[in-house]
Amino acid sequence: MSLLKEEIQALHNEFKEHFIERDEEILGAILAILANENVLYLGPPGTAKTYLAQNICKSIEGAQFFYYLLTRFTTPEEIFGPLSIQSLEKDVFKRKIDGCLPSAHIALLDEIFKANSSILNSLLTLLNERRFHNGTEVIDTPLLTVFGASNELPEEDENLEALYDRFLFRYDVRYIQNEDNVKSLLFINNAEFSPKVKLNIDSIKKIRVQAQSIEVSDEVQDILLSLKKHLERKDSEDTESIQISDRRWKKIVGVLKVAAAANGKKKVDRTMLLLLQHMLWDLPDQKEALRTLIIELMVTGGIDTEKLDLEITNLQKIVDDAKEILNDEKLPVSIHVRKNWDDTEISTYKELVEAYQNGNNPQLLFEDEMNYSRYNFDTVLKKLKENYNFTPKMDLAAEKKIIYEKEYKNIEKQYKTHYKNVRTLFDEMKKDLESNIWLTSHDVDEVSLIQQNKLNNVHMLEEKLGAIKTAFQS
């Protein structure tokens, strides 16, 4: 295990003991710092958003923290620094940035969406490019992460949507829910917190360099593309309003690489994809549907199993409906048919069908009977099955076989991919889940349960495909 991975785990454990029910927010904050991305905490006051961000900053060795509560009256001087009088005397527009946002490593901008237009443009550049235009000079800032906090989502405004898009990680921070955790917060966990574990800025920069050589496996690429396609589908009810910019997708891949590198992996494995649940939603109400979709695609390798099951079921029905009875099949017993006092002996299923084609029930005499009887067609079939173990065989016509076999092969190809991802890679994914430091215990338990359910479903799909294949081989 790498030293950085050990430090991240120790830091996470230290934080989660104090910040109750903030497991995801803690891990997201640490990963955002490593990946040089921004974090948005959306939620009511009093949920420890500022306290968490301040202590995350303290966990970075030598990092400077900047905090500001924005209002529509906030001036650029308050955020970016006052104008330099000495520079103005030389007719140069320049700010004194020491102690302000452009000189900070970690920043928390409270009520971020109340930023006015005089602040917005500089803020957008800082959040995205980590650069600040100080007069005629463009400087690189040391910003690792900017935390944004807000009680509400931005209103529909083009500029605020651009600002919202700059926050890759998004968390809906709620008040503590579990009753035992509430008791712990109120009556036990009252000590001031200061992290003992420290992350080094040089180590953070080093992991970003390592991340550049991390590969994204073909299966992860397929899942990402499948997810992107699903989100863009107009008929998707739960996620129809989610629009992901190209910049955001690019950043997401970058985060996955950093997460893999910090986890000591050489490739981005499927379990890293669960991190996307915190990077894709626009509205908190979309979170659960997104999480379900991501886990589904993660476990199945990008195959929509509900759609696959429906396609198999539909093909099976079409094949069954298209089967034709083999009319020249021999009957297991000789049958005499009497019509208008004419007696005819029949020995094939075709002849039996023809005997009933005029719509009347003819008189029949089986070779083991003494008298003629008027059987309807269904009764004859029942008697042949029960007494002589005979059921007429059915098969597809040659031209229909060609059409349906082609469709079968396309479905079988999808099934084999699904089979590989669910059954063949079951143990491998289970191992990756357990070693992934970025997932909570809730994440691991839920994915494991769904993985086991999908494993059970594989057998059902296999049986359905087998029945269709048998129809082609008969």
Which domains, ranges and CATH numbers included, belong to the chain?
3-206 (3.40.50.300), 210-299 (no CATH), 324-395 (no CATH)
Instruction: Report pLDDT for 266.
Output: 93
d(C-alpha 402, C-alpha 269), whole Å: 39
Q: What is the pLDDT of residue 78?
A: 94
For residue 64, is pLDDT > 60?
A: yes
What does the CA dihedral 71, 76, 79, 82 come to, rounded to 10 degrees?
Answer: -140
At residue 25, the pLDDT reads 95
Read off the pLDDT of each residue in 130-146 and give the average, rounded to a whole number: 92
Q: What is the mean pLDDT of residues 129-138?
A: 89
* Dihedrals phi, psi of 190, to nearest 5 degrees: -110, -5
- Let me know: does 244 contact 224? Beta carbons within 8 Å: no
Could you tell me the two tokens for 83?
């104008």
pLDDT at 396: 65
- The residue that leads in pLDDT, 12 or 422, is 12
Tell me the C-alpha distance between 442 and 438, whole Å. Answer: 12
Q: How many Å apart are CA 270 and CA 58, to the nearest integer? A: 32
Q: Quote the pLDDT of residue 399.
A: 62
State yes or no: pLDDT of 358 exceeds 80.
Answer: no
Mean local confidence (pLDDT), 119-140: 90
User: How far is residue 12's CA from residue 460's CA, in Å, rounded to a whole number?
Assistant: 41
pLDDT for residue 423: 79
Nearest to 364 by CA among 394, 408, 392, 334: 334
d(CA 350, CA 329): 7
Q: Which of 155, 110, 141 is nearest to 36 (CA)?
A: 141
SS3 category, 72? coil
Mean pLDDT to the nearest integer, 158-176: 90
CA angle 51, 130, 207 (to 5 degrees): 75
**Count of residues in the chain:** 474
**Amino acid type, 421:** N
Mean pLDDT estimate for the chain: 87
Query: Hey, is 336 helix, strand or coil?
Result: strand
Give the single-character DSSP code of 79. H
What is the DSSP-derived secondary structure letter of residue 113?
G
If you average pLDDT over residues 132-143, what whole number do you get? 90
DSSP 361-424: --EEEETT-SS-EE--HHHHHHHHHHHH-----EE--HHHHHHHHHHHHHHHHHHHHHHIIIII
Structure tokens at 388: 């002589």
Confidence of residue 295 (pLDDT cuts 50, 70, 90): very high
Rounded to whole angstroms, the maximal C-alpha distance in the chain is 127
Please report which confidence band the pLDDT of residue 236 belongs to, taking 50, 70 and 90 as the band edges. Answer: low
- Give pLDDT, residue 69: 93
Average of per-residue pLDDT across 192-220: 91
pLDDT band at 339 (very low <50, low <70, confident <90, very high): confident
pLDDT at 321 exceeding the cut of 80: no
Q: Do the beta carbons of residue 204 and residue 33 sit within 8 Å? A: yes
DSSP state at residue 238 = T
**114 and 164 in contact (C-beta within 8 Å)?**
no
pTM equals 0.77
Please determine, for residue 88, whether its predicted confidence score (pLDDT) is greater than 70.
no
Residues 6 or more apart whose CB falls under 8 angstroms from that of 2 comprise 262, 264
Answer whether residue 303 shows pLDDT above 90.
no
Indicate the burial class of 199 (C-beta count within 10 angstroms; 0-12, 13-18, 19 or more): buried
* pLDDT at residue 237 in the model: 60
| 66 or 354, greater pLDDT | 66
Q: Which residues contact 8 (CB under 8 A, 6 or more apart)?
A: 30, 199, 262, 437
**Phi, psi for residue 279 in degrees, rounded to 5:** -125, 0
pLDDT confidence band for 409 (50 / 70 / 90): confident
Q: Is 359 a residue whose pLDDT tops 60?
A: yes
Both structure tokens of 52: 């968490």
pLDDT at 311: 87
Q: Which of 73-87, 107-121, 171-185, 398-412 has the lowest mean pLDDT?
A: 398-412
| Mean pLDDT, rounded, for 243-267 | 94
CA 271 to chain centre: 10
Lowest mean pLDDT among 88-92, 96-100, 252-256: 88-92
What is the reported pLDDT for 474?
57
Nearest to 439 by CA among 268, 288, 272: 272
Residue corresponding to tokens 């989610």? 242
Query: Which amino acid would we find at residue 104?
Result: A
Phi, psi angle pair for 137, to nearest 5° = -100, 135
Residue 346's beta-bridge partner residues?
A: 335
Q: Does the pLDDT at position 174 exceed 60? A: yes
- Report percent pLDDT > 90 for the chain: 39
* Alpha-carbon span 458 to 421, nearest angstrom: 11
pLDDT surpassing 80 at residue 1: no
The predicted pLDDT at position 456 comes to 82
Average pLDDT over residues 80-107: 84
* Cα separations in angstroms, 251 against 37, 140, 245, 376, 381: 8, 19, 10, 72, 67
Please give the pLDDT value at position 301. 80
How many Cβ atoms from other residues are within 10 Å of residue 149's Cβ?
25
Burial zone of 84 (CB within 10 Å; 0-12 exposed, 13-18 middle, 19+ buried): middle
- pLDDT value at 326 more than 60: no
Are 272 and 256 within 8 A, CB to CB? yes
Q: What is the dihedral of CA 54, 56, 57, 60, to 10 degrees?
A: 160
